[in-house]
Amino acid sequence: MRVGIIGAGIQARVSHLPTFSKIEGVEVTGIADINEESAKLLAKKFNIPNVYTDYHDLIEKDSIDMVSICTPHHLHKQMAVDCASAGKHILIEKPMATTVKDADEILQAVKENNVKLCVVQNYRLFPSIKESKRRINRGRIGEIISMHGYGHVFQSFGSRSTPWILREGSAGIIEDFGAHLIDIILYLNNFNKIKKVFAIGGNFGGNLDSIVHCQIMIEFENRSVATLDLSYLSGAKEIAVFIHGTGGQLHIDVRNDFLRETHQYDTPLDDLSFTLAKLSKITKGIINKTYFLGPKMYHFEIIKSLINSIEKNSKVIITGEEGRNTALVIESALKSIKEQRQIIVDEEF
């Protein structure tokens, strides 16, 4: 299978290209970026024969089967539509789109041209998230009452590939790291229909026209509620999800990929048991050299699964329809912050 890469930034460099190079039968034949220097640098490092400064040339001149879109979020739509129209299968970085309109246009193009599209929501493949999903589906914590996602991450904005997050009209942290948490929350809640979204936050008193911290509240049709607490500013990194169910609670330490299930009447020995299990997991991760790979190690599974679904014409692991839900939350939350009101999804979209 011949693959083309659009975007020679950090995602292509640290995640997509190293992963493609490890998959047998896959050849990356072209890379496109408006910054020729970056594209050439990656082409040299990963032995890619063709370099383009216009992605249209990549999809027209290079006889590729699949395209990996690793560009800034607001550029995804046009690129994905063009790739689908050219009959190329698409691997697209999260979020697939930042507005519902863009997501719908991508889905329409994908459907009309009968190509496969898979969104890179690699956090969803963390063993702790998969296990949480299994336990939720088995009813181990009963019905979900509420979910709380915490995404406090550091973003330096120092490299070439990040200042676009603060572009005009951007949803900032919501479309950046927030897209991971939104996907985890929606996935674990079985993509239950979203009824309402309300968000507060903003630029933390500075003059940047972007969202650098916020809280998003989501109400679902199954009566459960979710909050997402996001920022670039916190003095301590935190990536976690708490899920409270009628029969128990799950605490997913996403950063350490560790899951803790609790029920009523915990004792200090429960804490000891969980602490030992967590220590053991981290130690094993360090010995196996997987601990510091973190989310990067799950690109392999996503790309393998997309190739498999192209070959067998089966369903992809993370669909465009699921990506649309993330776009819906991103757009609603941004709108809610800007207009300082609750967004009732059925009335707006």
- Rule CB under 8 A: say whether 273 interacts with another protein: yes
Please identify, among the stretches 96-104, 113-121, 244-252, 289-297, the one whose residues bind another protein according to the rule CB under 8 A: 244-252
**Of the candidates 89, 137, 136, which has an alpha carbon nearest to the alpha carbon of residue 109?**
89
- Rule CB under 8 A: say whether 246 interacts with another protein: yes
Q: Can you tell me the distance from the alpha carbon of 68 to that of 11, in angstroms, rounded to the nearest whole number? A: 10
- Rule CB under 8 A: say whether 248 interacts with another protein: yes
Centre a 10 Å sphere on the Cβ of residue 194 and count the other Cβ atoms it contains: 21
Please identify, among the stretches 18-26, 36-44, 239-247, 299-307, the one whose residues bind another protein according to the rule CB under 8 A: 239-247
| Binding string, residues 130-149; x marks residues near another protein by CB under 8 A | --------xxxxxx------
- Residue tagged 């029969």 (tokens): 247
Confirm if 166 and 156 have CB atoms less than 8 A apart: no
- Rule CB under 8 A: say whether 270 interacts with another protein: yes
Shortest Cβ distance from residue 187 to another protein (Å)? 20
Residues 179-238 that bind another protein (CB under 8 A): none
**Token pair recorded at residue 190:** 């079985």
Question: If DSSP codes are grouped into helix, strand and coil, which group holds residue 229?
Answer: strand
- Rule CB under 8 A: say whether 178 interacts with another protein: no
Q: Can you tell me the distance from the alpha carbon of 194 to that of 185, in angstroms, rounded to the nearest whole number? A: 11
Centre a 10 Å sphere on the Cβ of residue 23 and count the other Cβ atoms it contains: 15
Q: Which of 95, 245, 295, 323 binds another protein (CB under 8 A)?
A: 245
Residue 177 is classified by DSSP as T
- Rule CB under 8 A: say whether 158 interacts with another protein: no
Output 49 or 142, the one with its CB closest to another protein.
Answer: 142
Q: Give residues in contact with another protein (CB under 8 A).
A: 138-143, 245-248, 263-270, 273
